[in-house]
Amino acid sequence: MTTAPLLPGQTTDHVSFAQCHISPEARELALEVMAGGWLTAGQRTLQFEEELARWVGARTSVAVSSCTAAIEMALRALDLRPGSAVLTPTLTFCGAVNAIVHAGLRPVLLDVDEQTLTVNASEVESKRRERPAAMVVQHMAGYPAATQELAEAAGLTLDRVVEDAAHGLGASRDGRAVGTLPSTTCFSFYATKNLPIGEGGALTTPDPERTDRLRVMRQHGMSKDAWRRYEPGAGWRYEVTVDGLKANFTDLQAAIGLGQLAHLHTWQARRAELADRYDAQLGDVPGLVLPPRPSDGRHAWHLYPIRVQPAFGPCRDELIAALAERGVDTSVHFIPVHRFPYFRQLLGDLTPSLPVAERVADQLLSLPLHPHLSDDAVDRVCAQLLSLRTHPRR
Ligand SMILES: *Cc1c(COP(=O)(O)O)cnc(C)c1O
């Protein structure tokens, strides 16, 4: 493992929040692709799609430019009436809600469950009067959301559910891996995600027709094998058969992804180990609520989000600043989207209807978590955090 060069003011004790580690295999495969001269979508992309699907346990996958594009495409492929209601948690990444808007649909924001930080069935039921045509389920931090139960609560069949699994690669629930239900699941390979490529995304769905549609949609709606038209002997003709985006993957991304995939099981196991280590040191600390664990499922541990409550002493924002001074980078997932001016303008002020998100939003603190974090670094993060506690009230 190589270490990143130090930034001005950093010491070697610095603990970064996340790290985009590109494995030696990935670097080598990327060089090979560059030497070969075929950089955009081609054979390597097909190979990556197959191997990703195998890793997930899905029939096949469609690689695209980002998870955000994947969510938009998955929604477009449902052919809903423009302006139809789509349920989505407010405690999510803004891009996931932008994707609903870009698909011509209307986001209906859901509050989150105080314990799981994902959406629960009673909240979904309470929004049925909005007559949702689809729903986006988000596996917050890697905690496997109850996709099937939520679909039932929404009165939707699973094929109308889009799973935002930007955090969910490697998670499973009730013995089913995320990405293998009859929904459409969207993954992210953004620089900090569990399978980092830098940028990129993918979709899985068991529906072969939808898969074909997505393959065409990602490339301007051009007929299936349009990318082959520059191959020797290939024809120049193509058709535009569906509404399309420019959202294709590239062979350079695929090469990196293939080299990274070989390590993913090991990296996932390491993330789980680090989460255990945090749990062991931060459990039973008054004023700290640790991330929930699924009772029947596997957590993907993309993030380790704790909640800082008044009994701890300093508030979340004070902790972020104090930890940064002590060389510990943290982050916040997420600022609920209903707090952003754009969404307030679009959807109105929804603050009163989202009390749990409002409450937890100012308490959430994501601690450093990535597979190359050392045990020692976790211990230092915990020691620094606990040294900042001022009110050990019970
Ligand atoms: C990162 C993220 C996305 C967007 O992924 P991109 O690949 O960067 O488009 C969507 N949803 C959630 C919850 C995310 O964390």
What are the pLDDT digits (tens) for 284-325? 999 999 999 999 999 999 999 999 999 999 999 999 999 999
Share of the chain above pLDDT 70, in %: 95
Query: Would you give the DSSP letter of residue 259?
Result: H
Q: How far is 291 from 297, CA to CA, in rounded Å?
A: 14
What is the extent of the structural domain holding 144?
24-262
- In this structure, are 281 and 250 located in the same domain? no
Say what the pLDDT of residue 8 is: 54
Q: Per-residue DSSP letters for 155-168?
A: T--GGGEEEE-TTT
| Greater pLDDT, 339 or 6 | 339
pLDDT at 1 over 80: no
Q: How confident is the model at residue 238 (pLDDT cuts 50, 70, 90)?
A: confident
Of ligand 1's listed atoms, the one at least distance from the Cα of 71 is 10
Does any domain span residue 3? Answer: no
CA 198 – ligand 1 centroid, Å: 12
Is the C-beta atom of 95 inside 6 A of ligand 1?
yes
Task: Identify whether residues 141 and 284 lie together within a single domain.
Answer: no
Instruction: Assess if residue 1 is contained within a domain.
Output: no
**Same-domain status, 313 and 258:** no
Helix (H, G, I), strand (E, B), or coil: what is residue 260?
A: helix
- Ligand 1 pocket mutation, candidates 68, 110, 332, criterion most atoms within 8 A of CB: 68
Q: Which of 262, 290, 322 is the last residue of a domain?
A: 262
Is residue 35 domain-resident?
A: yes
Do 232 and 275 fall within a single domain? no
- CA 151 to CA 154: how far, in whole Å? 5
**In terms of domains, do 258 and 268 share one?**
no
Distance CA 202, CA 52 (A): 9
Quote the ligand 1 centre to 66 CA distance (angstroms).
8
Q: How far apart are CA 150 and CA 158, in angstroms?
A: 9
pLDDT beyond 80 at 243: yes
Question: Same structural domain for residues 256 and 287?
Answer: no
* 204 sits in which H/E element: strand 201-204
Of 291, 294, 311, the C-alpha closest to 364 is 291
Dist. CA 89–CA 111, nearest whole Å: 6
The DSSP annotation for 121-136 comes to HHHHHHTGGG--SEEE
Q: Find out whether the beta carbon of 67 lies less than 6 Å from any atom of ligand 1.
A: yes
Which of 218, 237, 262 delimits the end of a domain?
262
One domain for residues 328 and 307: yes
CB of 186 closer than 6 A to ligand 1?
no
- The tokens for 63 are 């690689």
Residue 193 known to be catalytic: yes
For residue 7, being part of any structural domain is answered with no
With respect to residue 16, please indicate whether it lies within any of the assigned structural domains. no
> For residue 174, how many other CB atoms are within 10 A of its CB?
12
Summary mean pLDDT of the chain: 94
Among 190, 303, 335, residue to substitute to test ligand 1 (most atoms within 8 Å of Cβ):
190
Where does a domain end: 206, 234, 262? Answer: 262
CATH code at 280? 3.90.1150.10
User: Is-cis flag, bond preceding 249, omega within 30?
Assistant: no
What would the pLDDT profile of 23-79 be if each residue is shown by its tens digit?
999 999 999 999 999 999 999 999 999 999 999 999 999 999 999 999 999 999 999
The rounded distance, in Å, linking the Cα atoms of 223 and 229 is: 11
CATH label of the domain that carries residue 69 = 3.40.640.10
Please give the Cα distance from 147 to 183 (Å, whole number).
Answer: 9
Structural domain tally of the chain? 2
Q: Is the CB of 188 under 6 A from ligand 1?
A: yes
Residues 202 and 304 in one domain: no
Same domain, 171 and 96: yes
> Mean pLDDT over residues 104-128, rounded?
97
Question: pLDDT (tens digit, 9 = 90+) per residue, 244-274?
Answer: 999 999 999 999 999 999 999 999 999 999 9
15 within domain boundaries: no
**Residue 5 located in a structural domain:** no
Same domain as 87, residue 34: yes
Whether the CB-CB separation of 260 and 197 falls below 8 Å is answered with: yes
pLDDT of residue 366: 98
The pLDDT value recorded for residue 5 is 58
Query: What are the structure tokens assigned to 272, written together?
Result: 């789980």
Q: Are residues 255 and 303 in the same domain?
A: no
- Assess if residue 11 is contained within a domain: no
Structure confidence at residue 6 as a pLDDT band (50, 70, 90):
low
57: amino acid identity, one letter: G
Is the model's pLDDT at 394 over the cut of 60?
no
Confidence of residue 241 (pLDDT cuts 50, 70, 90): confident
Q: Which of 67, 71, 185 to mutate to test the pocket of ligand 1 (most atoms within 8 A of CB)?
A: 67
Give per-residue pLDDT as tens, 328-361: 999 999 999 999 999 999 999 999 999 999 999 9
pLDDT at res. 2? 45
Task: For ligand 1, say whether the CB of 93 is within 6 Å of any of its atoms.
Answer: yes
**Residue 238 shares a structural domain with residue 118:** yes
Q: Check if 166 has its Cβ closer than 6 Å to any atom of ligand 1.
A: yes
